[in-house]
Amino acid sequence: MTDDRLLVAVSRDGRLRARAASTTHLVREALRRHDPAALGAEALARALSVTATFPATWKDCDRVSLQWSGAGPLRTIFTEIRAGGGMRGYVKEPGAGTRRDREGYRGIGHGLLPNGFVAVMRQDVRGRFAQGQIELDTGEIDEDLERFFEKSDQVPTRVRAVWAPGADGPTACAAVLVQALPDDMPAMLPDADALLALDPAAPMETMLAAALGDGFDVLDEVILTFACPCERSRLEDGIALLETDELLDMINEDQGAAVRCDFCAEDYAFSREDIEAIMVRKVTGEGHQE
């Protein structure tokens, strides 16, 4: 049973809306699977945490994918949340670089900089996609996502991720997102340092109070879990898209194939006989048989 959850709330004066997410268990599961070094661990923890707070309306939206990419040692961080609260993510170079604090950064900005972008892709329930992106500024996961909302969506936003590292992984992870509602001009957003000072193990209601003040109403609660929809049959369908010559190489030279899911690090082994069966289905046009 997971304790991870997202609370959605609005201030009673109608000026602000907020989302507070506890992500400790799903982050620990992601780190267990990918085993990144300290730099990648904090980057993935922050990325998953802020992704949990993404302001999506799940009756219309099926999933939201976020990508931070740059020329730094981490290269790319990719996260995703789906309707129902299932989340996954990975770091392209999990073992690269070391964490370091320096002026202008909170410890992981150099993992992505120099250059790069943060991109957001939304998929609605009909399968249609919408995407936007902006250039990275500080390289800090939450700060650049905050700028995305302000520049791309033109919504005044404050978003910060907080975590408490431990000897065998984070002891607590959380994030808070606050946005001004359309009529709140100018926006009165909470101070970023105040959000960073929050205890990641605190109740989500405490975090909402820091973001919205004491007067707010909780509108929704979503249970959050680490979940990956990868499965063997989907991978078989992907292998079937390869050219026949490539499949023959797998059969005759490689004696099969090994495939790892980037998101959950699950390994799938396909024997020579498995590849032969996939090629037969491809050639005969039978498709995958459930």
What residue segments make up the domains of the chain, in order of their start?
A: 5-226, 232-284
Under DSSP, the state recorded for 122 is E
Per CATH, which fold does 5-226 belong to? Hsp33 domain (3.55.30)
CATH assignment, 232-284: 3.90.1280.10
> Within 10 A of 200 (CB to CB), how many other CB atoms are there?
20
Smallest CA-to-CA distance from 21 within 191, 226, 205 is with 205
Per the DSSP assignment, residues forming a β-bridge with 6 are 21, 222
Per-residue b or e along 4-35, where b marks 16 or more CB atoms closer than 10 Å to that residue's CB: bbbbbbbbeeebbbbbbbbbbbbbbbbbebbe
Compute the half-sphere exposure of residue 93: CA atoms within 13 Å on the CB side of its CA.
15
d(CA 144, CA 272): 46
Using one digit for the tens of pLDDT, what is the confidence trace for 225-246?
Answer: 999 998 888 888 888 888 888 8
Name which of 55-59, 67-71, 115-119 the model is least confident about.
55-59
Answer for the pair 32, 47: CB distance below 8 angstroms, yes or no.
Answer: no
Question: Across all residues in the chain, what is the average pLDDT?
Answer: 90
Using one digit for the tens of pLDDT, what is the confidence trace for 4-20?
Answer: 999 999 999 889 999 99
d(CA 39, CA 36): 8
What pLDDT shows up at residue 186?
Answer: 67
Using one digit for the tens of pLDDT, what is the confidence trace for 170-218?
Answer: 899 999 999 998 876 667 899 999 999 999 999 999 999 999 988 999 9
Residue 27 has pLDDT above 80, yes or no: yes
d(CA 180, CA 155): 7
Name the pLDDT band for 1 (thresholds 50, 70, 90): very low
Cα–Cα distances in angstroms (integers) from residue 227 to residues 29, 152, 255, in the given order: 10, 29, 31
Smallest CA-to-CA distance from 69 within 102, 33, 26, 114 is with 114
Going by C-beta distance under 8 Å and a sequence separation of 6 or more, which residues neighbour residue 132? 119, 120, 148, 152, 153
d(CA 149, CA 205): 24
